[in-house]
Every structure is written in C-alpha cells, then in structure tokens.
Structure 1
C-alpha cells in the first residue's frame, strides 16, 4: 500500500532566476533529495496549467481514436521504438503492463548505418503521427522543448550538487540529446487482468519528468515501503535514471517506481519525458569530492538489469526487453548474438 504524499517540492526558478542564496539553497536541497529518495516534485519547469490541460486534451483525443487508427501507428512498424502500444504489449520485469501509450522521440533523420555499426544507432529516426490531429504533434513537440530546457537547467544544478563544474554535463547533452516522450492511458481495474499499470522498474536514461492529469497511481519505493506521488497542480514529478547512478558510483540512486492501475470506472492519463545524453556518449565516472565519495553506495547490481555506462547501449537493452515485437522484427541479430530470450506471447496483438 502507498502512503500519503511525502516527496519534497523544489522550484527550478530558485536556481535559474534566484540570487546566490536561493541558488545555493536549491543545490543543497537537490543534493540531499537526489542522494536520498531520488524523486521530487518540481515547480517552475516552464509549463503552465493551461498548457498542461491542452496537452491532456489532445492526449485524450488520441486515445479516443478508433482502435484501427491507433493500430496503424503500432510500434512494431518502427525500428526506432516509436509509435503506439496496446494494453498488455509492453513488458516490465517479465510481466505485462496494462496501459496503452504512444512513444515519441526527437524528430530526427535516420542515422547512416554500415554493416559493422552498433545496433544502438538504429534507435534514432522519425516518429509516427496520427492523421487528423495536427494539434497533437504541435503540443507534444512543444512540451518536449520545454522539458528539455528544464532538464538541462536541472543538470547544471546537479553538477554543482556533485561538486563538479556547472557545465560538467553540457557536452554530453549538446546537439542531439535523447528526448523521449510517452503519452500513456491506464484503464480502470475492471478492464485489466492485473493491477500492474507498469511494474516496478528503474529508468534507463538520465532524468525523467512525469506530468500527471488528475488520477493518482504513481508510487516510489523508498525505505522499504511504497510512497504515493499523486498529482500536484503546477508541478511535474522528477526522478533520476540509471545513467546518473553509474556516473556517481551510486551516490545518486535510480529509484524503483511503479504505477498501480486506477480504480474501476476511471482511467489515468500521464506523460513521461526521458532525457538522456547523446546516443554515442560514453561517460566516465565522476571524480566526486571526498565527502561525497565516502557516501557513494556503489552501483546497484541486478542480474535482471545490468547497467552499462554508454547511453545507446543502456537505452537499447531497456527497449529490447520491453518491446519484444520490435526486438524480433528489427533486432533478431542482436537477440541471437546476445542470447536474449523473449517471452513467447510478448508483443502479440490479441
């Protein structure tokens, strides 16, 4: 069971527009929060309530399209893991997630590929957009730009929190950072086979922003219990991904989290935005100041989720285990080479 909301609330304006005292207080609070629970609410992230409502309006319009129209955009069309996924067709920790969603990345051209190029280069490419909903594309790309800027500002604060130069992360995110949005609808529990909206997991990137509509369900695992992170107007929920855990030798920890399916008679809308370094970025561990290095816990070792310090490789392993239909169609060579075995029914449309 979850508990009442206990996550801290930070305001990015304190860092971006504040005086020296407010900036220092923000960095200190961010350090404590990122080392501890690893999740927090953020105000001042560049999107007002009217923009958020408009976004969820076009999200609702998409999910209310006829099933055939959504299926025409199914992710199994895309080697870049872009497009629509039906309820039960994404896998977390070997179990089906009961949510439907559309995955959208930065709108970029396919990378040139030679026979010896690494498989992670296939992750970049165009999106699939619904016909007849022109506002959908505009709203989604607009929030992608807002949250990318907020993420870059937050990374500068995190650099200071870790005793690094303020621009420590700038180069890795310059030019073509990985920008990945999921628009998600969780159906009510009377329509699903389990309460797993999405199973307990860590995010494979660097920073995640979760914008929630009105229905709760997000939970964070901290100090041996699940903590609720319900919607809070004017905020976005932020959590750290595996990249930051690796770079800080576990001083920062990517935290397990999940979504519980909403009650019968309701559904839940949310947007998750994942910001990661460029696909080709291989980042060395940060030289932490001695007082922080003594508190580093080491990278958590989970044989089901081996962390690697390379953006493209780390993201690809997560995509392959989550979307078996795309993996089988476009990455059969990787599955064979790595000896990856996928569930037989994963990704099969009913």
Structure 2
C-alpha cells in the first residue's frame, strides 16, 4: 500500500453487513455475466472493496505462500536486516517494524517488498528519477524457496488481477482490453508479505494508517485474524477474513481513468491484541512506469455520475505514471529517500 492519505476520524468500528462476495467464474458464464458485471460495478461504486471467490488460485500455492512467509519472518533479525530496503534504490527488500510511515506516523508492521524481477536500467543524471524504480529484488540467502514461491504467487495473482481489469472495462461499457495499455510494457507490480505483531498499547494500534492504494487493483490474502477496515460514510467497516477468498480494492489509477466514477477507498489495519500476530499478503497490480493514465470515454449515463478524481493538496494525483509511483514511495520510506533520492528532501 503506497500513497498515504488523511483518514476518517471515528475510532470505534461499528457492526456492518459483510462486503459483497463476487465469483470471478461468473464473468465467463453466459447466464451470469451481466449480473456479475452489475454487481462488480455496484461494489466498486458503493464501497470500493469486495471479496473475490472462484479466482482459481491453487490451494497448494496458498499454503506454500503462507509457509514461506512465516519462515521468512522467523529468520534471525540480522538476516532480515541484511536485505533491508534501505539498501535498494528500487524500494525492494525488508522493512523493520515501525520504519514505514503513513502520513508521518510509523506503522506497526514488518514486511518484505518484492517487485517484478527486472534488471536495473542504465541511466544518466538526465533521466527522470522514477526510472530508478525498476530493478532486482533482494533475497535472503538462507531461504532460497522464497524467490520461487513469491514469484509464482505474483504471476498467478497478476493473471487474476488482469481478468478483473478486463471485467471492470466491460462493466464500464468499454472494450475488454481498454486498459491493457497500462500494463503491456515492463510490469511494475508489487508483492508485500506482512507481519503485524499485537500490542495492548493504544498508541501502537496502527498497523497501517488510513490511506488509499496508488495502483490499479489490490488483491489481499488474509490469515484468520481480523484487522482490516474500510471507511464508508465516516465509519470504519470491518473486513473479516473469509477462508479461500481474496479481498479486492480499486486503486487511484482506476479513479483517474474513470474521472472519479470509480473511487479508491480509505482503509487501514489495526494490530491484534498483545500475544497475537496477524499475517497478510498483498498483491498490487500497478501500471507500467512509462506513459500516462488514459481517460476512458464513459457512456453518458455513467459519465454523469463521475465526480472527478479526488483532490488532496497533500497528495496530488498525477496522470504521468512514473512520477505518481515515485511520489508514494518517497514519502513512505524516508530512509531510502535520504540515501538514494536526496534531491527530494525538503
């Protein structure tokens, strides 16, 4: 989760109905397709989050990603620190507890960020800074299977996310491939393995502060412990885990592409109580760094409900993809900014 935003103020979550549950298989079923598309459009407009079942991700792979994630976080601290994100101009690698910020407040989580495995570009001082985002990942030497499993997970979730992107295009009465230009160059996806240790301290309940995701779509796998909440009408709604389901939310790129007809939604994570640890695995379908976000020509009956992209002077949205991607990373990881991007320091 990247671009960080000011959140809603209520602190006590209220009991609310569950989020919509959509079955991706219905997109390919002739008798269910139109109902699925209507429900997809409604879910995205209403709260911007939904559960996804029928996604086709193999149960064996799900167990493998959980196992390798827990094994990574169980490594000695020195071995995790050896692949610290602070070593990477590409914002890849391990982040210690409290080292990532949401609007300047430390998040109580540790994580490893894994992007597309690509070589760093050969750049000159005249090239734009966002081109430095492409590059290799960092891998722990003691856990070689982490690379194999996480890259397979990323490839699998990318396929699911692209199917959803096609469904969104059709739901908006566009050609199915209307948004493929966002992803048909070098991939800029991100995978986060995340661990939230519990706490009984009130000032340590922020696992991740209120924010919106900067990419196209996010697909989240949760363990058995609650904590994720989304904001709707000034209240925080719990998003409890459902076995086998992915939680999906739209990012700011779709908000830009639809002139605000689809809107990214504020969400946050509260850490569990002391003695409990929560794990999650987030996959973020992001646009290729080159180019800009198109504006879809929505039909009149949809366009009239487009509110325009949200305007936040503390976090402006850019149509140019590279600067937009870099902006969020710089503000979330000040240690990387200080070392590799000092020209952006105040």
Counterpart secondary structure, 1:26 = helix
- Tell me the equivalent position of 2:160: 150
8 Å CA contact 1:186–1:197 kept in 2: the answer is yes
8 Å CA contact 1:83–1:103 kept in 2: the answer is yes
Q: Could you tell me how far apart the structure 2 residues matched to 1:37 and 1:66 are? A: 40
Q: Could you tell me how far apart the structure 2 residues matched to 1:23 and 1:65 are? A: 46
Q: Does 2:22 align with 1:10?
A: yes
- Tell me the equivalent position of 1:239: 249
Q: Could you tell me how far apart the structure 1 residues matched to 2:129 and 2:17 are? A: 41
Unaligned runs of 5+ in 1: 336-340, 342-350
Counterpart secondary structure, 2:64 = helix
Shift of the alpha carbon at 1:49? Answer: 3.3
Shift of the alpha carbon at 1:192? Answer: 8.6
**1:111-122 pair list within 5 angstroms:** 111-122=121-132
Shift of the alpha carbon at 1:5? Answer: 5.1
Counterpart secondary structure, 2:322 = helix
- Tell me the equivalent position of 1:325: 335
Q: Does 2:186 align with 1:176?
A: yes
Q: TM-score normalized by structure 2? A: 0.93
Shift of the alpha carbon at 1:263? Answer: 1.1
Q: Could you tell me how far apart the structure 2 residues matched to 1:46 and 1:67 are? A: 35
Match 1:189 to one of 196, 199, 204: 199
Unaligned runs of 5+ in 2: 1-11
- Tell me the equivalent position of 1:201: 211
- Tell me the equivalent position of 1:280: 290
Q: Could you tell me how far apart the structure 2 residues matched to 1:229 and 1:253 are? A: 18
Counterpart secondary structure, 1:303 = coil
8 Å CA contact 1:5–1:230 kept in 2: the answer is no
1:88-114 superposed Cα distances (whole Å, 9 cap, x missing partner): 100001111000000000100112212
Match 1:99 to one of 106, 109, 134: 109
Q: Could you tell me how far apart the structure 1 residues matched to 2:118 and 2:200 are? A: 39
Counterpart secondary structure, 1:165 = coil
Counterpart secondary structure, 1:251 = coil
Q: Could you tell me how far apart the structure 1 residues matched to 2:291 and 2:303 are? A: 23
Q: TM-score normalized by structure 1? A: 0.92
Would you identify which runs of 4 or more consecutive aligned residues in structure 1 move more than 3 Å? 190-193
Shift of the alpha carbon at 1:172? Answer: 2.1
Q: Does 2:137 align with 1:123?
A: no
When the two chains are superposed, the root-mean-square deviation of aligned CA atoms in Å is: 1.4
Q: Could you tell me how far apart the structure 2 residues matched to 1:96 and 1:160 are? A: 40
Q: Could you tell me how far apart the structure 1 residues matched to 2:92 and 2:163 are? A: 27
1:163-220 superposed Cα distances (whole Å, 9 cap, x missing partner): 2111101222114221100100000114895100000000111111111111110000
Shift of the alpha carbon at 1:4? Answer: 4.3
Q: Could you tell me how far apart the structure 2 residues matched to 1:26 and 1:101 are? A: 34
1:13-66 superposed Cα distances (whole Å, 9 cap, x missing partner): 111x312x3122211111111112110001122323332222111111110111
Q: Does 2:173 align with 1:163?
A: yes
Q: Does 2:216 align with 1:226?
A: no
- Tell me the equivalent position of 1:264: 274
- Tell me the equivalent position of 1:23: 33
Q: Could you tell me how far apart the structure 1 residues matched to 2:95 and 2:316 are? A: 25
Shift of the alpha carbon at 1:73? Answer: 0.7
User: How many equivalent pairs are there?
Assistant: 334
- Tell me the equivalent position of 2:301: 291
Q: Could you tell me how far apart the structure 2 residues matched to 1:283 and 1:242 are? A: 10
Q: Could you tell me how far apart the structure 1 residues matched to 2:171 and 2:187 are? A: 22
Q: Could you tell me how far apart the structure 2 residues matched to 1:169 and 1:116 are? A: 30
